[in-house]
């Protein structure tokens, strides 16, 4: 039987290494995308903190400017009250009373506004703190993921170089005509496996039923045979 044939076993060994290399190459080629997607996630998290921080600074600036306004308006009220003591004419006195009342109203409305801002400031500080705690954990986790991925890339490159050498050795071992058929199959079939066992008269490479001729060629004639559906080399494991 072909699968017991020593030469064929050598070909299977080469095929196994080719497949492992191909899997690793796919993983390697996908790695930069994974890394940049992690970097994007880190960026988004950091921007969230930045925007919470900006919101807080805006509120702080607003609160400071209100504080100054209130200070100056309260100075103004004091000045008006002092002036009140000096005026003699009744009309001037009334006019001052009106002005003071008007200024005090302004002051009171600014103080209301300041109170609202102070409440918002408390909320914004709390939000920033929660965001920082939560996000710094997330970012740490993402950075860890990124560094593991970089290590994996190094490992993959090493493994692929080692496999390249092993593949060269395996190729030397394989019978030339088997090797030629195998290389030819690799050109026809777009994706591995290039060699697939038959199961219940189906090619396990394409999952389609092969003809009786194919089965007989494999089992009876024990020849190197290709699936009549997909072109893969087929064999019987038992
Ligand atoms: Zn097939």
What is the per-residue pLDDT across 13-37, written as a single tens digit (0 to 9) for each?
Answer: 999 999 999 999 999 999 999 999 9
Cα 205 to Cα 197: distance, rounded to the nearest angstrom: 8
Where do we find the tokens 């925007």? 51
Residue 168 confidence (pLDDT): 97
Residue 78 has pLDDT above 60, yes or no: yes
Distance CA 178, CA 131 (A): 63
Residue 95 and residue 55 share a domain: yes
How many angstroms separate the alpha carbon of residue 12 from the centre of ligand 1? 17
Q: Is the pLDDT of residue 202 over 60?
A: yes
Write down which residue in 156, 172, 188 finishes a domain.
172
Domain co-membership, 106 together with 122: yes
What range defines the domain where residue 200 resides? 175-238
- Domain co-membership, 236 together with 139: no
Domain match, 148 and 186 both:
no
Looking at the fold, whether 52 and 41 belong to one and the same domain comes out as yes
Query: What are the structure tokens assigned to 91, written together?
Result: 């009309």
pLDDT at 210: 97
Q: How does pLDDT run across 132-184, given as a tens digit for each residue?
A: 999 999 999 999 999 999 999 999 999 999 999 999 999 999 999 999 999 99
**Mean pLDDT on 77-90:** 92
**Distance between Cα 194 and ligand 1 center (Å):** 9
Domain endpoint, select from 146, 172, 198: 172
Burial class of residue 86 (count of CB atoms within 10 Å of its CB; 0-12, 13-18, 19+):
exposed
| Mean pLDDT to the nearest integer, 108-127 | 96
In the chain, the number of structural domains is 2
User: 166 and 81 share a domain?
Assistant: yes
pLDDT of the residue at 110: 96
- Record the tokens describing residue 8, joined without a space: 């064929």
| Side-chain-side CA neighbours of residue 210 (13 Å) | 31
CA–centroid distance, 206 to ligand 1, in Å, is: 4
Residues 142 and 95 in one domain: yes
Q: What is residue 113's predicted lDDT score, i.e. its pLDDT?
A: 96
For residue 36, the domain's CATH number is 1.10.287.1490
The pLDDT value given to residue 222 = 87
Residue 3 pLDDT exceeds 70: no
Percent pLDDT > 90 in the chain is: 91
From 172, 191, 210, the end of a domain falls on 172
Would you say residue 36 lies in a domain?
A: yes
The chain-wide mean pLDDT, for the chain, equals 94
Ligand 1 centre from 223 Cα, in Å?
16
Q: Using CA atoms, how far apart are residues 92 and 94, in angstroms rounded to an integer?
A: 5
């Amino acid at each position: 039987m072909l699968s017991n044939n020593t030469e064929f076993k050598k070909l299977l060994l080469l095929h196994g290494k080719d497949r492992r290399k191909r899997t690793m190459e796919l993983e390697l080629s996908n790695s930069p995308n994974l890394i940049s997607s992690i970097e994007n996630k880190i960026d988004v998290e950091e921007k969230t903190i930045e925007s919470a921080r900006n919101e807080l600074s805006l509120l702080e600036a607003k609160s400071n400017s209100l504080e100054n306004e209130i200070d100056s308006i309260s100075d103004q009220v004091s000045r008006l009250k002092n002036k009140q003591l000096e005026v003699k004419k009744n009309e001037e006195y009334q006019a001052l009373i009106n002005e003071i009342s008007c200024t005090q109203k302004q002051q009171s409305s600014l103080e209301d506004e300041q109170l609202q801002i102070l409440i918002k400031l408390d909320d914004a500080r709390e939000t920033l703190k929660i965001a920082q705690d939560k996000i710094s954990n997330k970012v740490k986790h993402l950075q860890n993921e990124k560094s593991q991925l970089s290590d994996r890339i190094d490992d993959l490159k090493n493994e692929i170089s080692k496999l390249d050498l092993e593949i060269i050795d395996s190729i030397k071992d394989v019978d030339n005509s088997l090797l030629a058929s195998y290389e030819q199959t690799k050109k026809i079939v777009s994706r591995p496996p290039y060699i697939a066992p038959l199961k219940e008269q189906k090619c396990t490479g394409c999952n389609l039923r092969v003809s009786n001729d194919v089965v007989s060629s494999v089992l009876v004639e024990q020849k190197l045979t290709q699936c009549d559906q997909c072109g893969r080399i087929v064999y019987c494991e038992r």
